[in-house]
Structure 1
Amino acid sequence: MRELVYTGFVSLDGVVDSPGGPSEGHRSGGWTYQDIEFLPEAYALKGEELAETSALMFGRRSYEAFAPTWVDSADHASYKDLPKYVVSTTLSEAELTDGWGETTILRSTDEIAELKKGEGGAIFIHGSADLARRLSEAGLIDRYHLLMYPVLLGAGKSLFSRADNDKRMLKLRTSEAYPNGILKLIYDVG
């Protein structure tokens, strides 16, 4: 069975919206780079993840934000040949980004559950807050890789649902604190 791993940047108050820029219209877009000292060791997690990633998954909006940029990005060159899955009920094959490797459109949570039953390694979900919440509520997320920033944004897309769901315990696999206030938190869903 394959693991689904959510990886992302999150504010202390749980917002994952527009960490790299204002692409989703968040008034504080780019908050991961504003007023926080850059420390390469805080981002080492991204390189560590790559060794484990066998495929990428996105919701439609995150795919449309990342694919045109990442397709030619030297920083994301390793992603080019990985299989990609885009979860959307409306995206067409013609709208997929050319030259970014094999991309499959999944139309439902059931299709994602079937994908997890197959052979292969971990599938990493980037961005895609709405998708992550839906998959979490369906019990399909196996692990969270979070870089938590010492910032309160007050509004924006939250990683976790505010619905009255049953309690789910997370087990801390590893954590690390960096001098710039960023915390690395890796949790298994138990």
Structure 2
Amino acid sequence: MKTMRELIYTGFMSLDGVVDSPGGTVEGHRSGGWVINDVEFLPEAFALKGEELAETTALLFGRRSYEAFAPIWRDSEDHAAYKDLPKYVVSETLTEDALVDGWGPTTILRSSGDIAALKKSDGGAIFIHGSAELARRLSDDGLIDRYHLLVFPVLLGAGKRLFSEADNDKRVLKLKDSAAYPNGVLKLIYEVS
């Protein structure tokens, strides 16, 4: 029996659930840059990002995250391993001519149904970076299989939250791995039951 590809959300999150603008003020709220500015850098607290590379076979983005990451990650030595991986962008409005050249094969998906079909295709794990609105929608649709979270000891108050406030059915998560670091960052890896 063929197994489905896993869809994994990975991201930095504040203790109050905000996931946007960890490295700057891209989203425009005054607390942007909270990963870089507010917490001591410890390489071991970010080791999860390197570990994910070995498992990543494709990347999935919402339109805004794709437009923010693609031009930077395409030329970034830190993200060189992602360059030739297949990328998928979920957007109802993005056109082929708006895709970034030189960053590997990119496919535009139009709906959650397209993502469900992608999960049934051949291949390994698909990682979602950024893309809070997309992640909420996919979670509501029961399409996310795992969360890789680095939770930072900051309360931001404003910003995009990872989890929906919709009155959805309860989902129980199973803790697969965790670690606490001296700078207050927590690594939490959950499978969705």
TM-score, L = length of structure 1: 0.99
Is the counterpart of residue 179 in structure 1 residue 166 in structure 2?
Answer: no
Give the drift of 1:35: 2.5
Is the counterpart of residue 56 in structure 1 residue 59 in structure 2?
Answer: yes
CA distance in 2, matches of 1:77, 1:99: 12
Deviation per residue, 1:56-107 (Å, 9 max, x gap): 0000000000001001000000000100000000000000001000000000
**Equivalent in the alignment of 2:124:** 121
Following superposition, which runs of at least 4 residues in structure 1 exceed 6 angstroms of deviation?
none
Aligned residue runs from structure 1 range 68-83, under 5 A: 68-83=71-86
CA distance in 2, matches of 1:35, 1:64: 26
Tell me the amino acid that sits aligned with residue 68 of structure 2. A
User: Quick check: 1:17–1:157 contact (8 Å CA) kept in 2?
Assistant: yes
Is the counterpart of residue 158 in structure 1 residue 150 in structure 2?
Answer: no
**Equivalent in the alignment of 2:146:** 143
Is the counterpart of residue 85 in structure 1 residue 88 in structure 2?
Answer: yes
- 2:160 counterpart SS class: coil
Aligned residue runs from structure 1 range 29-44, under 5 A: 29-44=32-47
- 1:179 counterpart SS class: coil
Is the counterpart of residue 95 in structure 1 residue 98 in structure 2?
Answer: yes
**Equivalent in the alignment of 1:28:** 31
Aligned residue among 11, 14, 17 for 1:14? 17
User: Quick check: 1:17–1:26 contact (8 Å CA) kept in 2?
Assistant: no
CA distance in 2, matches of 1:122, 1:29: 29
**Ranges in structure 2 where 5+ consecutive residues have no aligned partner:** none
**Ranges in structure 1 where 5+ consecutive residues have no aligned partner:** none
RMSD between superposed Cα atoms in Å:
0.5
**Equivalent in the alignment of 1:104:** 107
TM-score, L = length of structure 2: 0.97
